[in-house]
Amino acid sequence: MGNLFFKLGKWCFLMKIVYISKSEITEDFRKEQITILHWFQNEFSKSKEISKDDQKYIEKKLSKVENLFNSWTDDNVSTERLKRKIANEFSKIMSHLSPQI
């Protein structure tokens, strides 16, 4: 399970960086990320090593990210706002996955 958490954390970190950048994000890129998101949803749903609370939280956040991906438009103003929302959701997932000290 640790490896799955690590993979999700790494993906979230990379996605946060992409979505806080000024780079253009293509439709193909978003579609690829939705495919990856679905892979994570599937892996977490069948894992026996994750707590139900973690499973619910991750599923909720990944569903929210997917909804944000799917609400994408090419309007520059709403795109920048949406990018910040997506980056924020990835930050929340990373915070949840991080060990508490």
- The number of folded domains in the chain is 1
The pTM is what?
Answer: 0.87
- Domain housing 70: 2-97
Residue 48's alpha-carbon distances to 44, 54, 60, 71, in angstroms, are 8, 12, 18, 32
Taking each helix axis from N to C end, the angle separating 76-97 and 2-20, rounded to the nearest 10 degrees, works out to 150
pLDDT of residue 86: 95
Spans of the chain below 50 pLDDT: none
* Strand residue runs (E) in 1-101: none
pLDDT score of 49: 81
